[in-house]
Structure 1
Amino acid sequence: MKEIEGLFEKDYRSIICAAITEGHQTVLHVATGAKQTSFVQQLLTFMDPEDLMLQDENGNTAFCFAAAVGAVDIANLMLKKNPSLLGIRGSKNMPPLYFAALFGQTDTASFLFHKSEKELPTEDRKVIFITSVDTGLYDLALKLLKNDRQLALTHHVKHGTALHMLARNPFPFAGRVLGIMKCSRNIELMNNQALELVKCLWKEINRQQDVDVAEVIRKPTNLLLDAAEVGNFRFLAELIGSYPDFVHELDENGRSIFHIAILNRHMNVFNLIYEQGFNKQLLATYLDSCGNNILHLAAKYRSPSPYRTVSGAALEMQRELLIYKEVEMIVQPSYREMKNYDGKTPRELFTVEHLELLRREEQWMKNRASASIIVATLVATMAFAAAFIVPGGKDDKTGLPIHLRENWFQVFAISDAIAFSCSVISVAFFLSILTSQFAEDDFLRSLPLKLLGGLSVLFVSIVFVLVAFFSTLFLAYDHGVNWIVVPSGLVSFVPTVVIALLQVPVLKDIFCSTCCPSLAM
């Protein structure tokens, strides 16, 4: 406080009101943008109410800055000093609430809405409503919608209505979480708010007597098909639950929402068939412009895969097969042999579309097995040699190991035996992979299980080799030099940690996709 008093003791207004940046921002603008609440509080004691109305070259007051950066405390202090700040517009002739919505500032937007909801003109409400939907401030959008039901039909210049924007959200109901938003943002709360917003929008659209619901759904784009394309399951469930006939909406290629969901590999959308109880055979009768039924579309491969994991392309073929098999179980048997206009059955189309992927994954599997079999052979060789060159040597008279009766020798012997056995077993797994025919169906369970088994037992063998090495250190240096043994032993386990960090994610992917395919999809 003393420093500020000293700074402003002479001609303080010229300092406070001066533009100190290229953008004509004052000290208050800069301090507010940096969220220096204490400094701003002291600064306000030297300012007159009209000083807070100063604008930068874009027309923004410091109060607009407070709204944009989410400085609720600073905004409150400024309003106490000058309540008219709520009505002073900033850049693009927009009110402060717009900037809070634009930058995803939930708390600030709620505070400003409470202060200014009665004074907001209709046009401002429309812009702020669309902006809040775009940035994921669904709570603010709900408040605006409840105050003005006509907002349900408000159109964005490019994206259509708020319902269209929610339909195209690539991460269902997660919102566009910006870097300046609070990290503690409750995503589940956002999901619930988004779903509630969808319900309210849909209810209001249907309530309008002079509105053609079908036209709203289909213009500027068909929001149901948009939702199916990005896998927006909860959105579709809400609308289709109200109007089951929406499942028959088709795009320009004759594809229904389920065809589009399958083509984009969104199985949760396709499984909506079960939950809503639709006629599965009727859905399968739809043919697109190329004569493909729903099983044909399940056979099409799209890259890059939305199911990419830390294993890279290793599991893509398996996941494509899982999706195809699941759809195949639903449709009538006759559709499995139906040919499209190119004369291909679904299975033939699957083979053609996945030929490149099959070759790529075959090569990946061979390379992985070849590299792993070299490691397994080295481990087996070391374990075999260690079994006959025991630590401490053998007694010349009896031929027995000198440390035979010591506990650490027992640990060594057991660990070495396990390491040798596991490495040999892993060699068998990898050899079976290398000698496989690499047929399409082999990638469904056979090859992934062999790879999972081989990598797992190889990891176990490496761990027990290191245990054997650790026990050997204690046997070799058991004469009062534990200060060497313990640190050396601990360092010897660093490779185990590194291998675990590298291999466990891969093993997890393979296990989930092979043993728990419903979770993987």
Structure 2
Amino acid sequence: MTLGTELLRVLTTGDAARLKELLRSEGRPRADGHVAIEVNGASTGAAPSPVRTGCLLGVTSNGNTALYLAASRGHAELAALVGERAPSLVATRNGGLDTPLHCAAKAGSRDVAACLLSLMRAAAAGGAEEAAVAALRARNRLGATALHEAVRLGRAAAVELFMAEAPEMTSVTTDVGVSPLYLAAETRSEQMVRQLLRPSADGTPSPASAAGRHGRTALHAAATVSKGTTESWPVGSTLLTRVDSSGRTPLHLAILHGRLDVVELFLDVHTSAVQARISDDHGLFPLHTAAMAGSIRILDELIKRCPDYYELVDEQGRNFLHCAVEHNQDSVVRHICQNDAFAMLLNATDYEGNTPLHLAVKCGFPRIVSMLLQMTTVEIDKDGLSDPHFIVLSCLCWLGIGITLDRRRPDPLHHADRTPTTEEAAASDEEHDMLRNGAIGSVLIATVAFAAAFIVPGAFVASDTMAFLCSIVATSFLIYGGARENPRSHRLWYKILASRLMPMAARFMIAAFAFGFHLVLVDGANRGLIVFVYTVSMAPMLFCFPDVWIPLQLLGMAKAVWRRAGWRGLVNVHKRPMSPLHLVQLFVGSFLFQYLVGTLLVVLIATTFAVAIALSIRLPNY
């Protein structure tokens, strides 16, 4: 049956006086489902009559009873009246499997929750203990108890009441094994964590369960949040050494989230040495985790607890320096290189014979390679440095070991009888497309530069001529580089030279464009337009060519080359050249040519633009 309209309105508005009137007129429900009529406050022995629509036993369309409506709105007096007349309603469920206690917890009404708990205790004392316990531990469709809902919504008053009146609720978990304590830690509620861990008045420890998702405990969740959430746990808690489904302790998670304060708190207990030596399922110790996360301060704290840090390796035999290199944590690598106490780590090998330098070369991290090479104690094992990144390979060539690497690579031309694989054929097609696109661009620059020379003569001729010559030479090199009849080594040099000349031609073309406009707009009335042209032309000159800023990123590489090979390494001349052409080839592949010539050209053109802008402003007829 359904709740009557008038009773529904009374329960919604919280009109206690009107509810009393309705209850007197409706009669009092009895256990046998009939109504005993009350006259002047006393029950008569009148014959039982059927329960009418609109009484307390009715429900709404969602299955909510009168007690639900009162509890969800925090009407404590109405809840007490309804509970007194129909105490069985305390254990009912609605469509979402919520009990009235769930509704009171969601609303955060301490008084309503206290009333409902009192009704449950009365039912237990009257012989319905099993039903009362079931109502107290009931879970809704989300698998949450009333305590879970109070914790999730931050209802501190309700949580405090539950801990005082029914602390056993803290041991109940959801359908997926999440305890209220874990939920409080996961939602970063320090107040809830303290309340759930608070011992009873007689000193009995809290029965709160710490179970959580994926085998984690509440301390795992608290470790990722803040120090305040973890301080409430008892000192030396056994949860510190508990691992989750991945084998990680709370210390691992605190390190991953960069919580230095939490790490210090964990390491201040007597189990700090044990925690620091627990590895996860991949053999990674907290030291490895700190190195991968780039946390230098946490790393130093762990090293204090692990004097034998160099002995801690993962399942691949890698120490924390190997991990820092693999995850491109250059700040950790720099810290290790600057501290002589870590010298034994620089040349340590894993189970495959890889040193940190080998991993940096294989991963293609130029900055880390330069840091390691700056340490003269780092040994260079040529056999282990294979397939490096282009910049790393160039650095090794500048150090005088690039020839060894080239000789270790088989030349496809020596295996004419071998059928190319699908990957090799795709790479060849891609290379051919790149050469064709480069040739098209180079020809376009040459065409524009050639045509401009006959349209606007004047001071811009120098830059226009350089753009034309660079593009023509680059076009020739691209044609030769794509001809398979030429030796592979020659084709490689043609491509490298073309790749150097194309950006130079584009820069000279930008300069010719700006200088040409200046000649056309030489009239002083166009001074603002001239400044605009120079300013706009300077922007692509500085920002559209990445090699302009690369030297700033490779200063460490140059420093490493200087320390190990001196000026010969910077110009790529380690032995006496066999011919002038050989000398040119070596210099073209040197650090100075690759990363300084283009930058100097940009600086020169940009400076010319700046001077032209200044003169146009100061001298209108310039």
TM (norm. structure 2) is 0.47
RMSD value over aligned CA atoms?
Answer: 5.5
Question: d(CA) in 2 for partners of 1:29 and 1:373?
Answer: 76
* 1:221 counterpart (277, 283, 291): 283
Q: CA deviation at 1:375?
A: 7.8
Tell me if 1:204 matches 2:266.
no
Q: CA deviation at 1:453?
A: 6.3
**Number of the residue aligned with 1:67:** 151
Question: d(CA) in 2 for partners of 1:427 and 1:81?
Answer: 68
- The change in CA–CA distance for 1:19 and 1:268 in structure 2 (over 3 A counts) is same
* 1:132 counterpart (221, 225, 230): 221
Cα offsets for 1:210-240 (capped at 9, x unmatched): x7x8964587723133433343433321121
**Number of the residue aligned with 1:13:** 67
> Could you say what secondary structure the match of 2:309 adopts?
helix
* 2:242 counterpart (149, 154, 158): 154
* 1:295 counterpart (357, 369, 375): 357
> Could you say what secondary structure the match of 1:143 adopts?
coil
Question: d(CA) in 1 for partners of 2:164 and 2:546?
Answer: 75
Q: Which residue identity lines up with residue 91 of structure 1 in the other structure? A: T
5 Å matches for 1:79-158?
Answer: 79-80=160-161, 83-88=164-169, 89-92=172-175, 95-114=179-198, 118-121=204-207, 124=210, 128-133=217-222, 135-146=224-235, 148-158=236-246
Work out which structure has the larger RCO, using CA pairs closer than 8 Å and 6 or more positions apart in sequence.
Answer: 1
Question: d(CA) in 1 for partners of 2:597 and 2:100?
Answer: 67
Question: d(CA) in 1 for partners of 2:204 and 2:533?
Answer: 78
Which of the pair has more CA radius of gyration?
2
- The change in CA–CA distance for 1:251 and 1:99 in structure 2 (over 3 A counts) is closer
Contact 1:380 1:420 in 2 (8 A): no
Tell me if 1:321 matches 2:369.
no
**Number of the residue aligned with 1:24:** 97
**Number of the residue aligned with 2:319:** 256
Question: d(CA) in 2 for partners of 1:2 and 1:99?
Answer: 32
* 1:233 counterpart (293, 296, 318): 296
Contact 1:66 1:75 in 2 (8 A): yes
Q: Which residue identity lines up with residue 382 of structure 2 in the other structure? A: K
Q: CA deviation at 1:100?
A: 0.9
Contact 1:433 1:450 in 2 (8 A): no
Cα offsets for 1:6-47 (capped at 9, x unmatched): 5993633264556444x31257746865xx66xx47966986
**Number of the residue aligned with 1:507:** none
5 Å matches for 1:64-463?
Answer: 64-69=148-153, 71=154, 74-77=155-158, 79-80=160-161, 83-88=164-169, 89-92=172-175, 95-114=179-198, 118-121=204-207, 124=210, 128-133=217-222, 135-146=224-235, 148-167=236-255, 169=256, 171-173=257-259, 191-192=260-261, 194-200=262-268, 203-206=270-273, 216-217=278-279, 221-223=283-285, 224-273=287-336, 276-278=339-341, 280=343, 282-301=344-363, 320-332=365-377, 335-336=379-380, 338-341=381-384, 348=393, 385-388=520-523, 390=525, 413=527, 415-422=528-535, 441=591, 446=596
> Could you say what secondary structure the match of 2:363 adopts?
coil
**Number of the residue aligned with 1:481:** none
Q: Where does structure 1 lack aligned partners over 5 or more consecutive residues?
A: 174-190, 303-319, 392-412, 469-521
> Could you say what secondary structure the match of 1:156 adopts?
coil
Question: d(CA) in 1 for partners of 2:209 and 2:321?
Answer: 38
Question: d(CA) in 1 for partners of 2:101 and 2:174?
Answer: 17
Q: Where does structure 2 lack aligned partners over 5 or more consecutive residues?
A: 1-9, 23-55, 57-65, 72-89, 121-134, 397-401, 410-426, 435-495, 551-586, 618-622
Aligned residues: 384
**Number of the residue aligned with 1:184:** none
Q: Which residue identity lines up with residue 156 of structure 1 in the other structure? A: D
TM (norm. structure 1) is 0.55
Cα offsets for 1:99-145 (capped at 9, x unmatched): 21233333432343346695324864896443434643543333314
- The change in CA–CA distance for 1:422 and 1:198 in structure 2 (over 3 A counts) is same
Contact 2:220 2:250 in 1 (8 A): no
